[in-house]
Structure 1
Amino acid sequence: MSQKRRASHSGVPSGSSTTSSKKTRKTISLGTKLDVLRHFDAGERAVDIGITLGLTPTTVRTIRSNADKIRASARCVTPLSATKISRSRSSLMENMERLLSVWIEDQNQRNIPLSLPVIQAKAKSLYDKLKRDQGEGSQTEMFMASRGWFDRFKKRFHLHNMKMSSEVASADPAAAKKFPNYLKKIIEECGYSPKQVFNVNETSLYWKMMPERTCIFREEKTAPGFKAVKDRLTLLLGGNAAGDMKMKPLTVYQFETPRALKGLSKEHLPVIWRSNKKAWITGAIFSEWLTLYAIPAWKEYCAKENLDFKILLLIDDVPAHPINLDDLCENVKVVFLPPNTTSLIQPMDQGAIAAFKAYYLRRTFDQLIRGTDGEGKPTIRQFWRDYNILKCINNIGESWAEVTQACMNGVWWKLWPECVNDLKGFKDVVPTMKKDILGLAKKAGFDKVEEADVTQLLQSHGEELTNEDLMQLDMMRAVEDEGQEVKEEPTHRNLTAKRLSEAFQMIEAGLQILSDDDPDRERSSKVIRGVGHLMTCYKEIYQEKKRKAKQPSLAMFFRVVTVKEEQQEEQPDDPPSSTSDFTTSAELNNHHC
């Protein structure tokens, strides 16, 4: 047996064995290391910090000497709870994994299945790119993108719902050919009219992107602090097959309140405004949109058109669309399109979204010309620097309004040709817009821009993010996080007795469903007991708030005494009447309410 094991079971004093036995390394979380650095920043001594956090002074000083490396690790997105480490991972690896996670989620958002070899190749490509950019100091680091690394990477970034396949899937013409007959059968059986059948689809919009052969594009790529070319937001666009009802665009941006929206009521924007870190539509956002906006809008529309309130909604089978959407409203039937058929048959992808983006680009060019044409007007560069997210939102609303009813109806020609009234001119919308955009570009002074550049720009909204795009977006977000985003005043939340009571009622209703419907009585009883135990702390808070509400305040006590003394002075010979006592008591009760 090894000497270490013999020493651990012997009575030999520690001083005689430590030289020949290997000490066990104690793992220290990244959060603890950051706590150590915060104590140092506060001016505390290493000995005192060690006593407070249960570490040796030597360990504390070692952490201080690696402060830069630890803070670099903390700036990456790896959760602190998942970062039990005995040594800091290289910033090169952390940066690569952060960018890779963005790329994977972008692929999932666009319903593109990924295979392990494809992810490994992308990881290696990103790693090599970052390694070259960092210079000679990183040349000794090696990365093989092994299967073991991939499994650990998934755990670190909680990527449990990735669409994985043995090979990357392509469009499925066979499924696209069968689906229209399946849809027609549903429509006929349930009696849906073209006014009651809707389709919505997500799309990215690089709202501040210009053709590559323009001074704006070149400056955005090189000017420090200038907005990234691919500053992206995500839109949800859609309407019915009749084309006479377009849904208000749902817009998701990475910041809740950019500087341009400071002081504005988001409820009155021409879009439904939502935000998350990656500017993507999540399952929660989509469910909220369906419940709070779409269903009420459909109900109002059906009433206005004297139609039965029943809706058929066609959507992609993507992670952002939860499978339980049918349960949100009995009047809405949700049908998922077959995988890998979006580009072939999904209505919004057959011309409506393309038309919207063409209208958007034409509108921005037109504004650029009108905003810079004339003496005393800003230059093109100045105008484009001032083109902010609020102007973008207004242009989204106006550009979506420009998409005609004929276009919204015509995009159903592959999926439901019987509902299309007239295809004449429908397919000419985007080519006509391209010519208009090209003419505006020439008028703005962009002589080198050609129609192929406009086509490439319109198509780029759906392209995969390149390594350069990922790095540019990452730099832009870092700048925004350091202070370019408007910081909203913190909201001081407080649990009131009323809100706690409402929560109790909802939780009890949910537990009652489990008790009534779960055939496994032991399981439901265990869950109910567990929830009841966990809710004890909130019940105590509720009881305390109710108790305090019944206690008169000290100020009210003196007020009551003063009122009684004044009444006795006014009528010293008469006993206090019941009316005056009642009035005082009512005042006290009103004060409590």
Structure 2
Amino acid sequence: MAGNCLQSTGEAKKGEAKAKIARDLSVGESTIRGWVKSEEKLRQFVFEVDEEAGLNRKRAKLSNNEDIDKAVHVWFLQERSRGTPLSGPIIREKARILAKQLRGDHFEFEASAGWFWRWQRRHAISEVAIQGEARSADAEAARTFPAKLKDIIDAEGYSDEQVYNVDEAGLFWKLLPSKSQASSNDPQTVGYKQNKQRITVMLTANKSGNHKLRPLIIGRSLKPRCFHHVNMDNLPVVYMASGNAWMTQFLFEEWFFNNFVPSVRCHLTSRGLEPKALLLLDQCPAHPREDRLRTRDGKIRALYLPANTTSLLQPMDQGIIKTFKANYRRELMMHLLLDPDYSSLVTSLQKYTIKDMCYIAGKSWRQVKTSSIEGCWMKGLGAAFNVQDDICATPETESVNALINTAAEHGLDSEYSEDVLMEWISTDDNEPTFELLSDEGIISTLKSSENQPAGTDDEHDDTAVDKENVPPPATASEAIAGLEAALSFFEAANSERDIDSLKLLHIKELIACCRNVQKKKQRQTSITKFFQSR
């Protein structure tokens, strides 16, 4: 019941008629209004309670010792992700240890069999003796899963357009390639320390490759200063924040219902298909349980891959993420090379902001080809689909070669060898996207989360500028003048390599768009006009 309540409040806030929602759920309209009023309480309840039966309760009641309950659950998820064998006595003893760390040595927490049974119910842990498969047996799980997936696809009638995969990756978004030995004494880079500011990038695409959702970027700041005057909805990415740029269960669930579900419904409807979909994902502790990733009608839901099979099965890990990263490194290099004040990559990097990164990430994702995405699906899960003969085994090769060629064309091959550039692409491959916490870390996180927001208010970045110094956005007239000047410049270009006719049409369309905005503003009636004498 609580899960439906929270979903209904979201629909009501988006403008859905409360009367219609009430009819669909067979409740009174006043009940819907009460749910909207109690949204924060419902959100906390749904976030803490995993079990489907628990979500159907009429009263949202949490544990009497919520802090202990949360700490044990976080620890349990981490150990399960590592494949650690657990049992009831082990978990109960851990609960006693965490209770003392939370409340002090004087606090006696029994962790009785009754508490343990209720804790299992709240988090849908029906069998605590987690045997799991040994890591050496993961190949067997990877071998049998595609057949199981095929049975699900056939039974529920999913097409290639309706099966999706999502995965996160760490990205050092301001990292430059290390210097080759021959150029390591360049005076411009002596004493330069590599910038390893990390963000989390999450990529999502369907099996056909025809639907690539906007990348999700998780940074440290809720709204970096470089985004002042920027409508975040207009970015080519979805931007979220957490304290250390980690993925969390709360962020993933928010993305699933607010971004994934609406985008999938829109895409499938445009293709004349039923709006139902299956999202495949790995068993990361930052991912909520399957029963929490399901729409109210059950048509869009999640399915977990077997534990420890990501490198063998997950399509994103078969070359899609590597292709994206190769594209991103190349676009970052080009961005810095085109800096009007360019003297070296290092100096130009000082002006590179997270807003620039968002645009480059969006462009890099668009450059990943449909054929590459489908090839990676077939490489990992081909047995679940109709196998094709022309599968590309290394879809990232083209993007890697493009990066190497770009460096050579701009005379950087003497500074950055092919081996250095290859290392640059993969340098953050093993970066975690969620935090594995010690007991002290779990306690610290739980205590700090009660008083602190998910991210900081400003980007602690030496490239950020004060909001007072950010110029106001251009007016429609200024935008039109700039675009018309650009159009005139490119129309007179001598080389076909400088511009093509399609880009000229894009500029014309932007000019028309600006003029429409200008006309709409001109038609808006000033409130003072109503007081003018007739």
Q: TM-score, normalised by structure 1?
A: 0.49
Check if 1:404 corresponds to 2:334: no
Distance 1:360 1:482 in 2: 20
Distance 1:182 1:221 in 2: 56
Aligned partner (choices 335, 341, 348) of residue 303 of structure 2 = 335
Distance 2:299 2:254 in 1: 17
| Preserved CA contact (<8 Å) 2:150 2:385 | no
| Preserved CA contact (<8 Å) 1:271 1:397 | yes
Render the CA deviation track for 1:261-312: whole Å, top value 9, x for unaligned. 2221112111111001110111111111111111111111121111112111
Check if 1:449 corresponds to 2:421: no
Alpha-carbon shift at residue 177 of structure 1 (Å): 0.5
Alpha-carbon shift at residue 182 of structure 1 (Å): 0.5
| Preserved CA contact (<8 Å) 2:283 2:307 | yes
Flag the 1:115–1:258 CA change in 2: closer, same or farther, 3 A: farther
Check if 1:213 corresponds to 2:199: no
1:270 maps to 236
Distance 1:453 1:210 in 2: 10
Flag the 1:481–1:454 CA change in 2: closer, same or farther, 3 A: closer
Task: Name the SS for the 1:427 alignment partner.
Answer: coil
Task: Name the SS for the 1:411 alignment partner.
Answer: helix
Aligned partner (choices 209, 220, 227) of residue 254 of structure 1 = 220
Task: Name the SS for the 1:398 alignment partner.
Answer: helix
Matches within 5 A, 1:132-281: 155=101, 169=135, 172-213=138-179, 222-223=191-192, 229-281=195-247
2:251 maps to 285
* Residue identity opposite 2:239 in structure 1: W
Task: Name the SS for the 2:396 alignment partner.
Answer: helix
Task: Name the SS for the 1:416 alignment partner.
Answer: helix
1:458 maps to 425
- Structure 2 gaps of 5+ residues are 1-66, 68-73, 87-92, 104-118, 433-455, 469-534
| Preserved CA contact (<8 Å) 2:310 2:317 | yes
Distance 1:462 1:303 in 2: 36
Task: Name the SS for the 2:311 alignment partner.
Answer: helix
Alpha-carbon shift at residue 399 of structure 1 (Å): 0.5
* Residue identity opposite 2:319 in structure 1: G
Alpha-carbon shift at residue 211 of structure 1 (Å): 1.8
* Residue identity opposite 2:424 in structure 1: L
Distance 1:154 1:437 in 2: 54
* Residue identity opposite 1:391 in structure 2: D
| Preserved CA contact (<8 Å) 1:236 1:250 | yes
Distance 1:316 1:427 in 2: 22
| Preserved CA contact (<8 Å) 2:226 2:353 | yes
Aligned partner (choices 258, 276, 282) of residue 310 of structure 1 = 276
Distance 2:342 2:79 in 1: 41
Distance 2:184 2:197 in 1: 14
Aligned length: 336
Distance 1:305 1:217 in 2: 57
Flag the 1:453–1:410 CA change in 2: closer, same or farther, 3 A: same
Larger Rg: 1
* Residue identity opposite 2:329 in structure 1: L
| Preserved CA contact (<8 Å) 1:410 1:420 | no
Alpha-carbon shift at residue 351 of structure 1 (Å): 1.2
Task: Report percent identity of matched pairs.
Answer: 28
Alpha-carbon shift at residue 461 of structure 1 (Å): 1.7
Alpha-carbon shift at residue 111 of structure 1 (Å): 5.2
Matches within 5 A, 1:109-120: 112=82
Check if 1:325 corresponds to 2:292: yes
Alpha-carbon shift at residue 464 of structure 1 (Å): 4.8
Query: How large is the Cα RMSD of the aligned pairs?
Result: 4.3
Alpha-carbon shift at residue 250 of structure 1 (Å): 1.0
Distance 1:108 1:395 in 2: 33
Distance 1:377 1:258 in 2: 25
Check if 1:437 corresponds to 2:403: yes
Alpha-carbon shift at residue 420 of structure 1 (Å): 6.3
| Preserved CA contact (<8 Å) 2:189 2:346 | no
Flag the 1:204–1:402 CA change in 2: closer, same or farther, 3 A: same
- Structure 1 gaps of 5+ residues are 1-81, 83-103, 117-146, 466-476, 490-593
Distance 1:343 1:273 in 2: 27
Distance 2:462 2:98 in 1: 33
Distance 2:350 2:166 in 1: 32
| Preserved CA contact (<8 Å) 2:168 2:202 | yes
Distance 2:265 2:386 in 1: 24
Render the CA deviation track for 1:365-388: whole Å, top value 9, x for unaligned. 22233336xxx6444332111111
2:352 maps to 387
Distance 1:171 1:460 in 2: 28
Task: Name the SS for the 2:243 alignment partner.
Answer: coil
Distance 1:217 1:298 in 2: 51
Distance 1:112 1:488 in 2: 44
Alpha-carbon shift at residue 427 of structure 1 (Å): 3.4
Alpha-carbon shift at residue 333 of structure 1 (Å): 2.8
* Residue identity opposite 1:265 in structure 2: N
Distance 1:384 1:171 in 2: 46
* Residue identity opposite 1:365 in structure 2: M
Distance 1:334 1:455 in 2: 34
Render the CA deviation track for 1:224-279: whole Å, top value 9, x for unaligned. xx7x6211111110111111111111111011122322221112111111001110
Distance 1:281 1:253 in 2: 10
Matches within 5 A, 1:88-103: none
1:351 maps to 319
Flag the 1:179–1:422 CA change in 2: closer, same or farther, 3 A: closer
Flag the 1:382–1:233 CA change in 2: closer, same or farther, 3 A: same
Distance 1:454 1:333 in 2: 39
Matches within 5 A, 1:69-88: none
Distance 1:351 1:367 in 2: 24
Task: Name the SS for the 2:222 alignment partner.
Answer: coil
Distance 2:278 2:337 in 1: 43
Flag the 1:300–1:190 CA change in 2: closer, same or farther, 3 A: same
Q: TM-score, normalised by structure 2?
A: 0.54
